[in-house]
Structures are given as structure tokens and as C-alpha cells.
Structure 1
């Protein structure tokens, strides 16, 4: 069942990401969907803070994937931007995300329809930017997804 959350400010998006990140464990897959400027990277910044990983979180558009080493919780974050892959599943396979998924929390921007095949148990977060600049996050769990903590 889908749940919707209004995110009135960028700080709200980060806080929501932090709460989600605190619940994630190695093996969790989160797919972020939404148009440019919807807040996918901002949400990932919050997820990283909740996981306690190190390293600056920025859009990995040109490097495709960034690995953020684990902090005190012991769970690294793999942050992927599948936008430039354009649905090229061979390039996605080359990233070996299924291997990363065993030991990391994996967040994939633009991953719906491609990275969802990494695990039948995953969470899709759809971000919509309304005309009043408020973001609405729709959470859609798939399979038996739930944070493993």
C-alpha cells in the first residue's frame, strides 16, 4: 500500500531521508523516481546522514555510482544515478550492484524499470514537485520490502 508524505521544505526532505536511512541495513534497495529537480539527491543526502556514512553526497550523474564508506552503523551506501544509462541493462550489470547489495544499502536515482530487477524486495520513492514547490513523496514497497533493522 502506497503512503504519501508532504515535504514542505528542503530540510523536510533531508529529515525524511534521515529517518529512512536510520532504518536501512545492508541488502536494502531504494529506488528514487521523479523529474529533474524533484529532490532525489537531497533525499539521498538525508539517507546518507541517517546511515551515518562518510563523504559528501552529490549527484553521481557523471560517475554513475558513488560508494560512501560505512560509519558507526557499519552499513556503506552505494548511490547510483541511472539517468545516463538510459535503460541500458548491460551497463547496469557492469556496475555489479547485486554484489554491492549484499553488503550495502543501495539507493538508485532513476532506477525504476531497470534496477528494480536487483531485488524483488525494494522500496520505490516517487517524488513529485508541485507548482507551490512542495514535494510529495509516495512510498511504494514491493515484494516483502521492509527495512532489515
Structure 2
């Protein structure tokens, strides 16, 4: 049984700040999968991760380009932000992105990647976002592989 961590995100600013704290802890080779329905805050969270990594470039949904590469900033770790929604489970297209190589030098964040991109590494973190009726987001973090020992030590709460 995987131990999960749940974080309540009351505002979009809370979501960005949570992403920043997560991004500050990421290293090259880290894989984070974002799951949740449209409007749950996946791209907002990715924007925070980018800020925490200190990468350059505007972070927006990569739905139409599938992947955006943000070169390393001051921390020396780049970000590859992928939106697997349009791939519709087509793993061949995911392979064409060559994310295995990107993982060697960047942190990779994949929206809609659960069930597809998780095969890139046994060591990955799934973050499930849900939007409650009161508009508060709830992030449930599910660690896999080395994340099971890393996650408890991270200071992600605001």
C-alpha cells in the first residue's frame, strides 16, 4: 500500500506556491505526473514547479505542441512540460518525444500522463488534483519508487 499525502489548495496562488516548493526539491531525472479533470489546476501547478526550478520561459498548457522545453535556470535543472491529453493513450507518440533522454538532464512534468508516462521511470510522483464544489483544489500525492522515501522529508505544506 502506497502512503499518500494530501494538500488543500484554497486559491490559485496556493497552487503556484505548492508547485514552487515542489519544484525547489526536484532534480534532473525526476518524473512528476499530474492527473485530474479539466480545470483542476494542472497547468497552474506546473507553472509553480517551473518557478521553483528557476527556469526561463512562459509556462502555459502544451496541449497543442505536446511538450515545451524550458532550459535550466540558476539551479541548473531544466523542465520538460508535457501534455499527454492529445496522445489519447498512443504510447508510440509518447516514445517519439524521447522523454527518456530528457529525464537525464531535466525534471519532467506530464499532464494527463498517468497510465502512459509512468512507464518512463519506476521512480515517479503522481499528483491527483480535484476541484471541490467550493472551488478549493485538493492535491493527493502518490509516491512510487524512491519517492516513497523522499516524499515524507519534503516541506510541501504552506
Using the size of structure 2 for normalisation, the TM-score is: 0.92
Residue 63 of structure 1 is matched in structure 2 by 65
User: 1:143: how far off?
Assistant: 1.2
2:135 is aligned with 1:141: no
Indicate the residue corresponding to 1:18 in structure 2. Answer: 20
Distance in 2 between residues matched to 1:62 and 1:81, nearest whole Å: 8
| Cα deviation digits, residues 116-144 of structure 1 (max 9, x gap) | 00000000000000000000000000012
Unaligned runs of 5+ in 1: none
In the alignment, the residues of structure 1 paired with residue 74 and residue 123 of structure 2 have an alpha-carbon distance, to the nearest angstrom, of 25
Alignment of 1:45-60 (within 5 A): 45-60=47-62
Q: TM-score, normalised by structure 1?
A: 0.98
Kindly tell me the number of residue pairs found equivalent between the two proteins: 148
* CA distance, structure 1, for counterparts of residue 33 and residue 8 of structure 2: 18
User: Distance between the aligned counterparts of 1:73 and 1:135, measured in 2?
Assistant: 29
Q: Which aligned runs of 4 or more in structure 1 are off by greater than 4 angstroms?
A: none
Measure, in 1, the Cα distance between the counterparts of 2:76 and 2:104: 13
Question: Which sections of structure 2, spanning at least 5 residues, go unmatched?
Answer: 152-158
